[in-house]
Amino acid sequence: MGTVSSDGSTCVIGPVFLDVVMSGLAGPPRPGEEQWVSGCAITAGGAANQAIAIARLLQAPDTDDSSRPRLVATIGQDRAGHLVADILTSEGIDLRWASRCDRQNVTTSLAFNGDRAMVTYGSESVSLLADVIQGDHPAALVADMNAINANHDSIAQWGDVWVLGDVGWDPSGQWDINNLRGLDVTDVFTPNETEAMRYTRTDSVEEAARALSKKVPLVVVTCGPRGAVACDGTDLFTVPALDIPVVDPTGAGDVFSAGLTFAHHAGLQPRAAVSLAIAASNYTVRFPGGSSSAPTGSDLHHWVASLSRDLTKGLDLTFLDVLNV
C-alpha cells in the first residue's frame, strides 16, 4: 500500500439543508395567524453554512481547485437539492465527495427578538469518510461531534489532520459525556455556554472551559452577545462580542467556526483567532439569511477597519493582517 498523506484541502462534513429564512417577525406566529415580514433569504444551510463561510473568507472562487473547501454531505436529487447544489457550486465549494439522495433536507427559520425558531424536514444521517475519501486525506476537517464520533477511526488513522468539532443540543436531556468521545481526535471544540456547562456539570462558563480543555487542545465556548470564553489548558481568556444590533442570528455559529478554520490556515494565535471568529459572526448577524450574509475576507477587513476603536477594543486586531483586501 502506498503512503497516504494530507492533500492540503479543507473538508466540511455534516447534513446539508435548503434554508428558508424569514426575518423581521414581530414575535412567534400564533395558530391561524399570518405575518408579513421585512426580510427573506433562501440559501444552503447546515454544514453548507460552514463550507460557504470558509470559501468566502478564503475567497475560494478566485483560487485554484485544490484550495476550495470540499463538502461531504448528501444532497437531494429533487428541485430543492438542485438549488442547493447550484448555490454551493457558485460559492466555490468542491462537491467531489458529496453523494445524492431522493429528497433534500429543508429548514424554515423564523427570526424574531434577536433569536430564532426552526422547523425542519429530512435526516441528520452522517456520511462515512472512508466511503468517499480514497487516497490522500484533507488537512483540515470541520464537523459536529456526531460525525467525528462516527468517523473516529478514519480521523485517528490520518493522524495529521486538524479537526474543529461542534456539538448540538441533546434532546434526550442526558448530556452523556460519551457524546464527546471524539474529542481525543479533535483540536478545537466550540460548544455554546449551555452545552458546555451541561456536559461538564459546572456552574460557570469559565469552569466548563477549563474542564473541557483537559480533553482538547483548545476549547472556545460561545456566549452569544457576550462573546466567547476560550481555554488552551493553561490560559483562560474572554473575547467580547461587538455591541451591534442583531437582525438574524441564523448561521452565526457556523460562521464563527469558519473564522476559526480560516485563522488556523493563517497561523493565528488563539486570541487573534477567536477575535477573527467573533468579528466574522458579528458581521453576519447584521443581515438576514445565514450563510448568504457571510463575509469575504475583504468584506470583513473593511468593516472592522471602519469601526470605532471603542467598539473593537476587546479584539486582537492582528487578524486584519491576514485577510485578503
Instruction: Give the Cα separation of 318 and 268 in Å (integer).
Output: 8
User: What pairing do the DSSP bridges indicate for beta strands 115-121 and 218-222?
Assistant: unpaired
Whether this prediction's pTM lies above 0.85 is answered by yes
Give yes or no for residue 251 having a pLDDT over 90. Answer: no
Q: Are 184 and 204 in contact (CB under 8 A)?
A: no
Give yes or no for residue 56 having a pLDDT over 70. Answer: yes
Give yes or no for residue 1 having a pLDDT over 60. Answer: no
Give yes or no for residue 92 having a pLDDT over 80. Answer: yes
The per-residue pLDDT for 3 is 46
Q: Which class for 143: exposed (0-12), middle (13-18), buried (19 or more C-beta within 10 A)?
A: buried
Instruction: Give the Cα separation of 231 and 181 in Å (integer).
Output: 19
More confident of the two residues 59 and 256: 256
Q: Which residues pair with 64 in a beta bridge?
A: none
Closest CA to 48 of 102, 105, 128: 105
For 68-85, what is the mean pLDDT?
96
Give yes or no for residue 65 having a pLDDT over 70. Answer: no
The per-residue pLDDT for 7 is 79
Q: Which residues pair with 45 in a beta bridge?
A: 17
The per-residue pLDDT for 153 is 96
pLDDT digits (tens, 9 = 90+) for 2-41: 445 667 899 999 999 999 989 889 899 899 999 999 888 8
Map residue 43 onto helix, strand or coil: strand
Q: Which domains, and CATH codes, for the chain?
A: 10-29+36-322 (3.40.1190.20)
Count CB neighbours of 103 within 10 A: 14
Cell of 287: 443581515
